[in-house]
Structure formats: C-alpha cells, structure tokens
C-alpha cells in the first residue's frame, strides 16, 4: 500500500502539515504513528498551535498526535518509562470512557483504546476488558476505521494497538491463554516496518515474556528473534515497547544458568520499582537472580521495596501480580532456608499451585523426605502449567525417593524431569541437587545432564540443611494472633467462644512447637518465621 504524502518523503509530509489542516495531521498520524511525533514534532505543534482544548478533546487522534509531539519536544529524552504519556492516557481515557458511543467513528479506535488503558491503570481489569471487547466489536461491525494489515482502500489506524492493550489487561488478570490469543491477533494486524509495526513489536515482546515465564525457552527465543527482525522503534518509546522482551531474555538466561547474560539483561530492564505495568514479572526475574547467585535476604528486601513502590503490600492485587510476588518470595525463602515461612506462605495465602515446587524442595532441604514426596506428588497432581515447575517437582521427587532408598522410583522421576525440560540448556530446576545425588540418579536412570554444580548454596555458608517447618493448626493460628494483639488467654477464649483452659492448652502446644518458654519468646519466634504479621513500632 502506498500513500501519496508519506511516500513523497519528509518534505511532502512537512508541506502537508503546513497547509493541509487538522484532518491532514490526523491522517498523517494514522499512517506514521510514532514516527510523526518522533520526526515532525515541531511541525505538528506549529500546525495545531491555535487549536483550542475543546476542539482537541473532540478529536482524539489529533489530541494524541499533539500531546505526543509536545512530549517528544519536552520530555522524551529523559523519561524512558513514559510516565507523562501513561498519565495522559489514564486521565484522557477516563473521560472518553464516559462517551464512547458518541465518539466519531474515525476516532473510536483511539478513544476506545485509551479508555482500555485508563481502566487498567486504575486497577479495574474487568472494566478494561469489557471496554476493549465492546470497542473491538464496534470496529469489526464497521463502527470505526477498519484495522487491516494490508489493503489499498484505507489507511490502517495504529494496527494492533487495541489487541495489544487488551492482551496486557488479560496478562495482568492471569488469563494467559487469552492474552496469547490477543497478542497473536495484534501481531497479525500490525504492519511491517517502517510503518505501523509498533504494537506488533510490543505484542511479540510480551509473547516472548509469557513463553519464558511458562518455561518454553525455545519458543521465547523464537519470539525474540522475530522481534529483532521487526526493526527499531523510536528511542524514546523503546523501553516501554520492549521491556517485556528484556525481562524474557533475563528469565531465559536464569533458566539456563547464564549469570553474565542474566545480569546484563536485568540491567537493561531496570529495577522493579519503576513505573511499568509489567513490574511484577521484573520483580520475579530479579528474585530468581538473587536466589541463584545473590543474597536471598537482600532479595527479600528488594522485593518488599518493589511491593511498596507499587502499593501492592496487601492481598488486593491482580491475580497475576499475586502469583508472581508469591513465586518471587517463595524462591527467596527456599534459598534462605526459611522453611516455616515458606510453608506458611503457601498455606495461609492459598498458593498451593504457585508454591508447590518451592514447598517440596523446602521439605527436602529440611530432611523431611516423606513430606517432600507428598508435596511433590500433590504438586504434580494439581497439574502445574509451568514447565519449570513440572521439571522441578519431578527432580525433587527423584531426590526424595533416592534418599528413602527407592532407587527404581527415583530413576523414573529423574527420567521424567530430564525429558520434561524445554531443552538441554534448561538447568534451573536442577540447581539444588547435591553432586552425589546427581551422580547416583544419572547412573540409575542412564541419563546425564551438564549441570554446573554447586550453584545454590546457603547464604550463610552453613550446611545445606534447614530447620523443620513449624505447622500450627488453624485454631493455634487464631490463638497466636490473639496473643500477638496483646490479648490475655481469657480474652482470646472469649473471642473464640471456648473455655480459657482450652486456650491455655493450645498456648502450651504453641510454645512446644516454637521451642519457646514464654509469650515474649514465642511471639519473637513466630514473627521470625512469618507466622504472624509484623507491625510497625508504636502501633
């Protein structure tokens, strides 16, 4: 498809901006997308200098072109996270969401997609998807400019943008299969370089991220290769467009135990405290790095910093955010040998599927081989979807059976672990194997893996053995919570509707399990194990 203005070169575009009026600016933005503010920001601002705010508000495409041009001139070089652009979409999209049915058909895609982004940024993922589905239906039925990857009768207006943004909404909601479908749709809709491939690049970057997170490393690398072939995007939009790919490269490097590559890609991706919507994936990648090669205690502190920066310290977080943060905390607790805290995290926050491998491995490190077998089998029966989880659970089961003298079962589990990998370089799930165990398993199964051991060792340098986890009954948890609040045994009994003697019996059981002889010692131990929430001093 050709365009008589844009195919005429920069001078033709400048001439159109100078003499073509507001409609010409909109049509050029449809054709050039980010290239328009990137290459012609001054001309766009000059051509629209006399347009009032009411007129801009009535013309979403024009408003977006003007805003991005002014942003490019004033802030583009120093704001890789596009914070001002994101805030613009949040505020303006909220306004458009109230009057989408009255928006001009040519502007429906722009106004509707901004409304999708705005609802998501406000934390309302259901509204974001509802708006996106409605807009997509209207566009499909002809209520706006058709989005087509090729054609000669119409100019594609930011092809793939709506599908990509809906994909990000589905990603954060934990609907990963739906997200993949939407990203694939965006990829098909998006044009080829040098025109209108920006949403396609964003979609492919996020496809690579989801594949890497699920442990499909070869697939992730194929998406990353495709992204490299799509060509460059403007430097000021590059980070937000491709941050998913940077995280994907880091995750692949960690899964393959390539420390130098992992460190380099995480440096490119940046800290998980930055204002990007994919920050939970970035926090998880940093936690994996800290668990494998760093200090898990420092990693837990960085994870808490990321949570605080995004206001995600409570339970009211999107589904995918909760899963990623639980995984990040789980791998760090397992490395730190905080077995009780890990088991408590799994049980109390209902992350049985998410933390199945971490919990099974924690029991193994604690020398509780029967519990490790039970946890691994339960994890496999729950049907974990991540390749790394499947491999790790089989590997844990193999070691536990081996240490229990069940060589045949150990060989079977080890064979399953090796064959479940996404490729020969997929090594992360095996990092905790003791070299002696690995040799025995390899001999029993007649299989070998090239694993650089030892990688994962205690942060304190102590023996690779953890204390047995403390398991309290639900009633003991309730009693402990009451004691933590400063209540007497009688008050706790009254709140639970039981006799004080019953509570005192439960207190003695709690002391015994915690190895404590007083309330103060028991509470200190409980706080250390994560069995009760910590509270700020003075509260």
Q: What is the pTM of this model?
A: 0.84
| Omega cis (within 30) before 86 | no
Cα distance between residue 103 and residue 319, in whole Å? 33
The angle that helices 60-74 and 35-47 make with each other, rounded to 10 degrees, is 100
Secondary structure of 88-106 in HEC code, one letter for each residue: HHHHHHHHHHCCHHHCCHH
Q: Please report which confidence band the pLDDT of residue 118 belongs to, taking 50, 70 and 90 as the band edges.
A: very high
Name residue, tokens 């002014």.
70
Q: Are 43 and 28 in contact (CB under 8 A)?
A: no
Positive or negative: CA dihedral 433, 436, 440, 442: positive
CB 320 within 8 A of CB 172: yes
Q: Which residue has the tokens 């808490």?
A: 304
HSE of 76, CA atoms in CB hemisphere, 13 A:
17
Distance CA 320, CA 173 (A): 6
Is the separation of the CB atoms in 376 and 358 below 8 Å?
A: no
Peptide bond into 194 cis (omega under 30): yes
Q: Find where tokens 């583009």 sit.
A: 76
Neighbours of 463 (CB within 10 A): 9
CA nearest to 144, candidates 94, 104, 100: 104
pLDDT in tens, 7-49: 667 898 899 898 878 999 998 998 888 899 999 999 999 999 9
| 88 pLDDT higher than 70 | yes
Segment 207-220, tens digit of pLDDT: 999 999 999 999 99
What is the mean predicted confidence (pLDDT) over 530-535?
A: 57
Residue with tokens 């496809």: 207
Q: Is pLDDT of 458 > 60?
A: no
pLDDT 10s digits, 245-256: 999 999 999 999
> DSSP letter string over 44-72?
HHHHTTT--HHHHHH-HHHHHHHHHHHHH
| Percentage of residues of the chain with pLDDT beyond 70 | 87
Q: What is the pLDDT of residues 485-522, one digit of tens each?
A: 888 888 888 888 888 888 888 888 888 877 777 787 77
Asked if residue 188 has pLDDT above 60, the reply is: yes
Between the CA of residue 192 and those of 5, 140, 168, what are the distances in Å?
18, 22, 21
Say if residue 533's pLDDT is above 70.
Answer: no
> Which backbone phi and psi does 340 adopt, to 5 degrees?
-65, -40
Listed range (145-154, 289-298, 403-412) with the worst mean pLDDT: 145-154
Query: Any idea what the Cα angle at residue 396 is, between residues 394 and 402, rounded to 5°?
Result: 100
pLDDT at 124: 96
Pull the structure tokens for residue 481.
């919570």
- Radius of gyration in angstroms for the set of CA atoms belonging to the chain, rounded to a whole number: 27
Rounded Cα gap, residues 99 and 478, in angstroms? 50
Can you list the domains of the chain with their CATH numbers? 6-148+155-244 (1.25.40), 362-455+465-469 (1.25.40), 474-529 (1.10.10.10)
Tokens 């590059």 belong to 238
| Residue-wise pLDDT tens digits, 312-321 | 977 678 999 9
**Which residues are CB-neighbours of 398 under 8 A, at least 6 positions away?**
410, 411, 413, 414, 417, 441
The pLDDT value recorded for residue 535 is: 44
> How high does pLDDT run on average in the chain?
86
pLDDT at 155 > cutoff 60: no
Q: Distance between CA atoms of 88 and 102, rounded to whole angstroms?
A: 21
Between CA 216 and CA 484 the distance in angstroms is: 45
- Compute the average pLDDT of residues 340-344: 77
Q: Are 441 and 410 a contacting pair, CB within 8 Å?
A: yes
Q: What is the pLDDT of residue 406?
A: 95
Q: Where does 156-234 have alpha helices with state H?
A: 161-172, 176-189, 198-214, 217-229
- In this structure, the dihedral spanned by the alpha carbons of residues 399, 380, 359 and 434, taken in order and rounded to 10 degrees, is 20
């Amino acid at each position: 498809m050709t365009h008589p203005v844009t195919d005429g070169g920069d001078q033709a575009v400048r001439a159109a901006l100078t003499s073509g009026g507001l409609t010409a600016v909109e049509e050029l933005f449809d054709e050039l997308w980010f290239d328009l503010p990137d290459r012609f920001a001054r001309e766009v601002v000059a051509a629209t200098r006399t347009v009032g705010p009411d007129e801009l508000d009535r013309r979403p495409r024009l408003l977006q072109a003007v805003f991005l041009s002014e942003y490019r001139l004033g802030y583009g070089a120093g704001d890789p996270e596009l914070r001002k652009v994101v805030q613009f979409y949040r505020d303006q999209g909220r306004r458009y969401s109230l009057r989408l049915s009255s928006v001009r058909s040519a502007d429906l895609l722009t106004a509707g997609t901004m409304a999708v982004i705005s609802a998501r940024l406000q934390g309302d993922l259901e509204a974001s998807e509802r708006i996106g589905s409605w807009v997509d239906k209207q566009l499909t039925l002809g209520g706006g400019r058709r989005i087509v990857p090729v054609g000669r009768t119409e100019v594609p207006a930011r092809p793939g943008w709506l599908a990509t943004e809906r994909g990000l909404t589905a990603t954060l909601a934990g609907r990963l299969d739906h997200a993949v479908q939407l990203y694939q749709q965006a990829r098909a809709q998006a044009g080829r370089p040098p025109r209108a491939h920006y949403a396609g690049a964003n979609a492919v970057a996020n496809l690579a991220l989801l594949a890497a997170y699920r442990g499909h490393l070869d697939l992730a690398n194929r998406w990353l290769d495709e992204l490299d072939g799509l060509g460059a995007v403007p430097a000021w939009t590059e980070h937000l467009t491709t941050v998913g790919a940077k995280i994907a490269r880091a995750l692949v490097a960690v899964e393959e135990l390539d420390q130098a590559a992992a460190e380099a890609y995480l440096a490119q991706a940046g800290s998980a405290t930055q204002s990007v919507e994919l920050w939970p994936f970035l926090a998880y990648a940093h936690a994996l790095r800290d668990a494998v090669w760093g200090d898990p205690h420092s990693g837990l502190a960085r994870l808490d910093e990321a949570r605080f920066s995004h206001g995600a310290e409570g339970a009211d977080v999107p589904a995918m955010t909760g899963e990623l943060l639980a995984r990040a905390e789980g791998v760090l607790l397992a490395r730190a040998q905080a077995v009780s805290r890990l088991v408590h995290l799994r049980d109390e926050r209902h992350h049985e599927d998410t933390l199945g491998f971490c919990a099974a491995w924690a029991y193994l490190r604690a020398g509780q081989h029967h519990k490790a077998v039970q946890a691994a089998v339960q994890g496999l029966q729950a049907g974990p979807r991540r390749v790394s989880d499947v491999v790790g659970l089989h590997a844990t089961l193999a070691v536990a059976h081996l240490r229990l003298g069940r060589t045949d079962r150990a060989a079977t589990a080890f064979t399953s672990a090796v064959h479940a990998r996404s490729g020969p370089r997929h090594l992360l799930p095996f990092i905790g194997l003791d070299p002696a165990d690995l040799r025995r398993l390899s001999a029993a199964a007649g299989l070998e893996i090239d694993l650089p051991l030892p990688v994962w060792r205690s942060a304190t340098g102590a023996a690779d053995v953890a204390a047995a986890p403390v398991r309290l009954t639900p009633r003991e948890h309730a009693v402990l919570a009451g004691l933590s609040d400063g209540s007497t045994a009688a008050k706790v009994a009254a709140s639970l509707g039981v006799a004080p003697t019953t509570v005192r019996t439960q207190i003695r059981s709690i002391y015994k399990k915690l190895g404590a002889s007083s309330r103060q010692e028991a509470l200190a131990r409980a706080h250390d194990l994560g069995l009760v929430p910590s509270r700020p001093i003075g509260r």
